[in-house]
Amino acid sequence: MYAYYGLSALGPSMAKYLWWKRYITQVQIVQFLLFLSYSAYFATAQRGYKIIFTLNIVSQSALYIYLFSKFYFSTYKKKKEEGEEVVMAIENTTSKTAVEGGGDSVGGGDKTKKEE
């Protein structure tokens, strides 16, 4: 996950290497599902902890699952249902920059203007 953030921070020139964003989100959803199942076990099997601690773990897990699932379905599934190709946001930024005549936003790029 942090490798993805680091590469995406380098600018639009790295977009072709960031095809695995979807899979990171899937892994994180699985991670939170596992944590929710552990927290459900913790809530039922552990004794001696305050109820607020247990409720915090369960609610936090459920919230993360909800948020990441909502992001996943709105970003990948909805676009697929509409018949559009799944496009990452950074690729959209790259294409806008190319259309508008800007260069590489990280290195300054070639910003010469055509004079006619």
Average pLDDT, the chain: 77
Whether the CB-CB separation of 7 and 18 falls below 8 Å is answered with yes
3-state SS of the chain: helix, strand, coil percent to 5? 70, 0, 30
Entry pTM: 0.61
68-111: pLDDT as tens digits = 999 999 988 876 666 555 455 555 555 555 555 555 545 555 54
Work out the angle at residue 71's Cα, subtended by the Cα atoms of residues 24 and 88, and round it to the nearest 5 degrees. Answer: 65
Q: Which domain holds residue 63?
A: 2-7+20-89
Q: How far is CA 82 from CA 39, 74, 75, 76, in A?
A: 37, 11, 12, 10
The DSSP secondary-structure symbol of 93 reads: H
Report how far residue 59's alpha carbon sits from residue 53's, in angstroms, rounded to the nearest whole number.
10
Q: Is residue 13 part of a domain?
A: no
Query: What's the pLDDT score for residue 102?
Result: 52
Q: Is residue 97 part of a domain?
A: no
Q: Is residue 61 part of a domain?
A: yes
Query: What's the pLDDT score for residue 24?
Result: 92
Query: What's the pLDDT score for residue 116?
Result: 44
Number of domains in the chain: 1
Q: Is residue 40 part of a domain?
A: yes
